[in-house]
Structure 1
Amino acid sequence: MPTPTKGPRLGGGPAHERLLLANLAAQLFTHKSIKTTETKAKRLRPVAERLITFAKKGDLHARRRVLATIGDKSVVHELFTEIAPLVAERDGGYTRITKLGFRKGDNASMVQIELVLEPVTPKVRSTRSSAAAAPVADETVADETVADETAADETAVPAEETEAVETSEPVAPEEPTEAAAEVEEDAAEKAGDSK
């Protein structure tokens, strides 16, 4: 069901709005793209997408439901025979609204609403390889994999193996010097003065 909108209707009343949207939908299915105001296009989108969903079903009942909205049989025939097979693989989003700017006379926001008839390209899901699945070369050194972020196919690259393990000696604690003691005394005096 289209989302209800508040405020004044398009045209004079509810019957006029239904006729206006039916005519816009018929023109959209005939020409595949129309130029109209942004408000009309936003109100047309759910109506047109619902009619295309009926056309995808393709049975007699769906055809009669579309004919109840659009009275022109040639437009309905074109919708069922030409447009519905092109969007059969698409799960929704049959229309695209593109802003064009403002109309010269009344500065109304103009848009182009068009049917999206391009074939659907499924999204490729990326799977990351886990470190646990990587083979272990030696018991002491495990083979780590590092994902190459610059590669388009996101393949994993094994890290370099090293036999030598570097060790460092612990750092001896610092012995306080006279200069360090003077700096601490100055800091304590300044902290006492600021209070």
Structure 2
Amino acid sequence: MRHNNAGRRLGRTTSHRVAMFRNMVTSFLNHEKITTTDAKAKELRSIAEKMITLGKKGDLHAMRQAAAYIRDKKVVTKLFTTIAPRYKERPGGYTRIIKLGIRPGDNAPVSIIELVEEELKAKSESKPAKKTTAKKAAPKPAPAATVQADVLSSEPVAEETLKTHVVEGDEACEAKAD
């Protein structure tokens, strides 16, 4: 039974495993995406998310804690200045693991672990746009810029001509025509 035995040993000694994960976290935060085995990616996810949470705190103590684990000072600076502010409003889940298949040499399952971009706002904006485009079956109206150019031209234009150029459903152009 594996009671109270959390984490994967990965066939390494403790010092080797800790050093490997320190290197992997440094590379992951530097490149924002790495390819590794599934087991290593799953272990790396928890460590990397803890580092990003430290970056979100942003105080000196958190910076020193991150610098004690991450091996490169430039990566610590990148974490606190560019990576952590991206996830300011996000409560967790900063990484994504995508399974690629098996490695030909030793048949090990391989994955990509990468930082999640802000897709929550993009999804909420794209859903209403899809609904509105599906409902419109009429041809697209002429751009308002051409109507405004006709209205603002210096030569006198007959009132009937202005009304023919006004796009249906465009209140701004109709107001200028009146």
Q: TM-score, normalised by structure 2?
A: 0.63
Q: Which runs of 5+ in 1 are unaligned?
A: 125-151, 153-195
Query: Once the two structures are superposed, what CA deviation does each residue of 1:52-107 show, in whole Å capped at 9, x if it has no partner?
Result: 00000000000000011112100100111010111111110000000000000011
Instruction: Give the direction of change, closer, same or farther, for the CA distance of 1:122–1:92 in structure 2 (3 Å limit).
Output: farther
Q: Name the structure 2 match of 1:27.
A: 27
Tell me which of the two structures has the higher relative contact order, counting C-alpha pairs closer than 8 angstroms and 6 or more residues apart: 2
Identical positions, percent: 49
Amino acid at match of 2:59: D
Instruction: Tell me the equivalent position of 1:108.
Output: 108
Q: 4+ runs of 1 displaced by more than 2 Å?
A: 3-7, 119-124
The CA deviation at 1:15 is 1.5
Contact 1:86-1:119 within 8 A present in 2 as well = no
Structure 2 Cα separation of the partners of residues 42 and 6 of structure 1: 10
Alpha-carbon deviations, 1:15-46, whole Å to 9, x = none?
21111111111111111110000010011010
For 1:122 and 1:88, how far apart are their aligned partners in 2?
16
Counterpart of 2:88? 88
1:14 deviates by 1.1
Distance 1:29 1:79, change over 3 A: same
- 1:56 paired residue number: 56
Structure with the larger helix share: 2
- Judged with a 3 Å threshold, the aligned counterparts in structure 2 of structure 1 residues 11 and 81 are, in CA distance, closer, same or farther, namely farther
Q: TM-score, normalised by structure 1?
A: 0.58
Question: Would the aligned equivalents of 2:7 and 2:43 in 1 still touch at CA under 8 Å?
Answer: no
Q: Determine the C-alpha separation between the residues in 2 that align with 1:86 and 1:65.
A: 20
